[in-house]
């Protein structure tokens, strides 16, 4: 690197570790290198689910969330290992330390990926040389492979990092969109899942280029405001910043209501809590958010106010679960005096798209076992316009897969980063 290159416009990196869990195991035990290995929740049971696998296993057809028995059938020589989460956390922290040596503008989005803004980076070399230096350092110091996308914004950088794996570096400029991005199938676009893709198929949108050329009104009709947002990203437009503090943001969504008159009627109190839980969930759904802290507020007839809260083990946007926790908190702390106002607030809220996509092992197996049930619920909901099971009372059915380990890592990162800054 002979000189510093001034940048024209933003230069964003997306650093994505390749087959992270499996790669960490290979780095820890070099004898595993070159072999077909997989990380699974319960290797001793055939009903286990594949969490991740090495590229050697993937070449044989082994995929994430595949039942273990099916993976073994496709790849008889597959070595199946239990996860070592402490090992993965350690490797991830070291990786992010390397990124932080290049620029302070680093935004982790999960345990194995993050964005970097190197626009004003004073390191010598072109963006491509800086990316190569990062990739080589991670490989030499941690013995781990990664792919890096280089682009003028976060969305294009994310798409670029997926274009060459493992150990790839891909530059995606706006002038390259017509040849590199737009020919891709629509389901390959970041932010478009299988359900969204099915809706787009009905509009004859099968490639990203089709999305670019689609009628914006039609997109908004079937996808709401997200339709226009996706189209703008397909056109290469994304102004969202690389925000190092995004991992520190703790948002909340709440709803409160004053009763017509002070009451000690438990049925009336529960009815209000039910209404508040539904209001909160509606607001969360509009923001495409989930949360894992629940707080209730109780204002008594004499205006004395108390708040009580509980941290959940997983993220949720389920009104039944929110109601159940709220009622439990109320019953434990109510002094049986007349109540004037009640409130429910969901705390530690995050956007679904920003919550890490890899589920923890136990959630993988639980959600996979419910897949047929979810499909039936989706079909009934589409036919009748509302989830019919929500009318049956109780806690309802939580059909939104949740995360735990990945988000826990972000919380760890937050604590460490704050400690370093203090």
Does the annotation place 408 within a ligand binding site?
Answer: no
* Alpha-helical runs (H) found in 224-265: 225-234
Q: By C-alpha distance, which of 121, 174, 84 is closest to 6?
A: 121
Place of tokens 């997306």: 14
Two tokens, residue 183: 């020919």
Is residue 113 among the annotated active site residues?
Answer: yes
- Contact by Cβ (8 Å): 242, 107: yes
Side by side, the strands of the sheet bearing 113-117 are: 106-110, 113-117, 12-17, 146-151, 169-171
Distance of CA 349 to the CA centre of its chain: 12
d(CA 251, CA 243): 15
Two tokens, residue 193: 């899942």
- Contact by Cβ (8 Å): 1, 125: yes
Residue 34 zone, left/alpha/beta (φ > 0; ψ -120 to 50; rest): left
DSSP 8-state code for residue 400: S
Nearest-5° Cα angle at 46, 40 to 47? 75
Per annotation, catalytic residue among 25, 56, 113, 365: 113
d(CA 216, CA 232): 10
Q: What are the residues whose beta carbons fall under 8 Å from the beta carbon of 381, sequence distance 6 or more?
A: 387, 388
Does the annotation place 16 within a ligand binding site?
Answer: yes
For residue 351, the cross-strand partners are 289
The three-state secondary structure class of 310 is strand
Q: By C-alpha distance, which of 118, 408, 102, 149 is closest to 242?
A: 118
d(CA 13, CA 199): 31
Q: Is the peptide bond before 357 cis (omega within 30 degrees of 0)?
A: no
d(CA 114, CA 99): 9
Active centre residues (catalytic): 113
Q: Which residues make up each annotated binding site for Mg(2+)?
A: 16, 112
Q: Which residues make up each annotated binding site?
A: 16, 112
């Amino acid at each position: 690197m002979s000189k510093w290159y001034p940048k024209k416009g933003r230069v964003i990196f997306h650093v994505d570790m390749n087959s992270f869990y499996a790669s960490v195991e290979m780095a820890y035990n070099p004898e595993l290198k070159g072999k077909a290995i997989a990380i699974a929740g319960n290797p001793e049971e055939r009903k286990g689910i594949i969490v991740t696998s090495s590229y050697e296993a993937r070449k044989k057809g082994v995929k994430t969330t595949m039942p273990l028995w099916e993976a073994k059938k496709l790849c008889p020589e597959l070595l199946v290992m239990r996860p070592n989460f402490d090992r993965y956390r350690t490797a991830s922290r070291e990786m992010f330390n390397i990124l932080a040596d290049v620029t302070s503008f680093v935004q982790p989005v999960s345990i194995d990926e993050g964005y970097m803004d190197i626009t004003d980076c004073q390191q010598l070399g072109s963006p491509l040389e800086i990316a190569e230096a990062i990739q080589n350092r991670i490989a030499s110091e941690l013995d781990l492979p990664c792919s890096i996308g280089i682009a003028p914004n976060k969305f294009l950088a994310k798409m670029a990092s997926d274009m060459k794996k493992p150990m790839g570096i891909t530059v995606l400029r706006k002038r390259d969109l017509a040849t590199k991005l737009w020919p891709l199938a629509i389901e390959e676009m970041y932010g478009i899942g299988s359900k969204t893709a099915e809706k787009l198929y009905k509009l004859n949108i099968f490639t990203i280029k089709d999305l670019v050329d689609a009628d914006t009104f039609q997109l908004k009709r079937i996808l709401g405001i997200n339709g226009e947002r996706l189209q703008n990203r397909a056109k290469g437009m994304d102004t969202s910043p690389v925000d190092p503090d995004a991992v520190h943001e703790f948002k909340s969504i709440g709803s409160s209501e004053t009763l017509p008159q002070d009451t000690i009627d438990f049925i009336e109190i529960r009815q209000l809590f039910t209404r508040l839980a539904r209001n909160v969930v509606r607001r969360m759904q509009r923001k495409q958010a989930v949360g894992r802290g629940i707080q209730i507020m109780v204002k008594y007839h004499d205006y004395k106010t108390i708040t009580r809260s509980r941290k959940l083990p997983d993220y949720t946007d389920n009104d039944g679960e929110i109601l159940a926790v709220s009622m439990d908190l109320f019953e434990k702390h109510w002094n049986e005096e007349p109540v004037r106002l009640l409130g429910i607030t969901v705390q530690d809220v995050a956007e679904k798209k920003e919550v890490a996509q890899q589920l923890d092992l136990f959630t993988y197996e639980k959600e996979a076992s419910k897949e047929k049930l979810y499909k039936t619920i989706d079909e009934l909901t589409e036919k009748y316009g509302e989830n019919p099971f929500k009318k049956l009372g109780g806690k309802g059915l939580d059909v939104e897969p949740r995360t735990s380990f990945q988000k826990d890592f972000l919380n760890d990162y937050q604590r460490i980063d704050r400690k370093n800054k203090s």
